[in-house]
């Protein structure tokens, strides 16, 4: 019952034209009763009242014709809304299914699907350690976001004949000598083997995930953006919430890191990360605030699910 005024407001906003037409018609119909045939004397003048009755009868007929037009308009409008909603939901669920298929197709040496994101986060953390070591060796002072930015690009592009070229180009805003040293370190077989064993990866790290994640993130962004751009009257947050529910904790964590780099900046620029709380299910301190990334500096209070739980206790 507390939501009744809000429901009435939504109903009125949806049917304001129909209500307005009916109200005007009803007022105009009843104005005829101020005629003298009904109020000049204590008795009704039969002749005058009869003429007025014929007039009112024709007027009422016109009024019901008007009501019919209004109802027809309302029916057509509702049918149009239903069609628009059906068309939207058809593509919406196709995009969700496409996302699921993209996740299922992810594979590295026997590890498939969502399990792969656990290993990807391990690899990213290993890269972050290497970035810090090389930065210290080369005398580079980097913020947490800069360290994560560099580590993610190394993770995304990888190293190799073509990958290294793309990696260096994407990190051209940093000291070239520092990036060269980092690329050489990541190309060393012993560096890769050490990370593989330490993080129990099961595959050779630092070779890039662009072919996997590029496709994955494009479709995830397309799905959320499709909902965000809708002009029909839907609860956009609830629809995006369903998309967000498809993401595991590690997927959300990697999405956050992706969004903090230039290639994923649209998540912030279009207010998708905050507006739809895309990573609200990340646990507290998933990333070490001191050694990895302090997410509390990125989001407002009560953004995360764990904050809601804490406030309720």
> Is the sign of the CA dihedral 247, 171, 185, 158 positive or negative?
positive
**Contact criterion met (CB below 8 Å) for 171 and 151:** no
pLDDT tens across the length of the chain (313 residues): 455 677 777 777 767 766 777 777 677 666 656 655 555 555 655 666 566 666 666 766 776 677 777 777 777 777 778 888 999 999 999 999 999 999 999 999 888 999 999 999 999 999 999 999 999 999 999 999 999 999 999 999 999 989 999 999 999 999 999 999 999 999 999 999 999 999 999 899 999 999 999 999 999 999 999 999 999 989 999 999 999 999 999 999 999 999 999 999 999 999 999 999 999 999 999 999 999 999 999 999 999 999 876 666 5
**pTM of the predicted protein model:** 0.78
Residue 111 near residue 203 (C-beta atoms within 8 A): yes
- Measured in residues, the chain has a length of 313
Q: Which residue has the tokens 């012993």?
A: 190
Maximum pairwise Cα distance, the chain: 112
Distances (CA, A) of 237 to 224, 227, 242, 273: 10, 9, 9, 12
Q: Are 130 and 191 in contact (CB under 8 A)?
A: yes
pLDDT at 7: 73
């Amino acid at each position: 019952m507390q939501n009744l005024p809000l429901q009435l407001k939504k109903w009125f906003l949806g049917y304001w034209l129909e209500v307005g037409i009916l109200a005007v018609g009803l007022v105009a119909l009843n104005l005829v009763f101020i005629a003298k045939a009904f109020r000049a004397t204590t008795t009704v003048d039969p002749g005058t009242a009869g003429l007025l009755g014929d007039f009112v009868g024709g007027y009422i007929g016109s009024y019901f014709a008007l009501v019919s037009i209004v109802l027809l308009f309302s029916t057509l409008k509702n049918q149009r809304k239903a069609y628009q909603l059906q068309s939207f939901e058809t593509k919406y669920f196709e995009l969700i299914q496409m996302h699921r298929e993209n996740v299922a197709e992810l594979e590295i040496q026997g590890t498939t699907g969502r399990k792969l994101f656990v290993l990807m986060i391990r690899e990213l953390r290993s890269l972050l350690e290497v970035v810090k070591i090389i930065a210290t060796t080369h005398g580079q002072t980097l913020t947490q976001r800069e360290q994560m930015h560099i580590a993610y690009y190394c993770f995304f592009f990888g190293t190799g004949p073509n990958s290294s070229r793309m990696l260096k180009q994407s990190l051209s805003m940093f000291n070239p000598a520092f990036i060269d040293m980092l690329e050489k370190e990541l190309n060393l077989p012993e560096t890769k083997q050490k990370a593989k064993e330490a993080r129990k990866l099961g595959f050779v790290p630092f070779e890039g995930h662009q072919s996997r994640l590029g496709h994955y993130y494009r479709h995830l962004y397309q799905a959320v953006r499709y909902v965000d751009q809708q002009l029909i009257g839907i609860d956009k947050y609830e629809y995006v919430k369903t998309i967000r529910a498809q993401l595991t904790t590690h997927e959300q964590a990697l999405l956050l890191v992706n969004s903090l780099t230039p290639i994923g900046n649209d998540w912030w620029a279009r207010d998708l990360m905050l507006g739809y709380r895309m990573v609200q299910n990340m646990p507290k301190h998933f990333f070490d605030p001191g050694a990895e990334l302090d997410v509390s500096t990125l989001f407002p209070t009560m953004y995360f699910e764990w904050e809601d739980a804490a406030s309720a206790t």
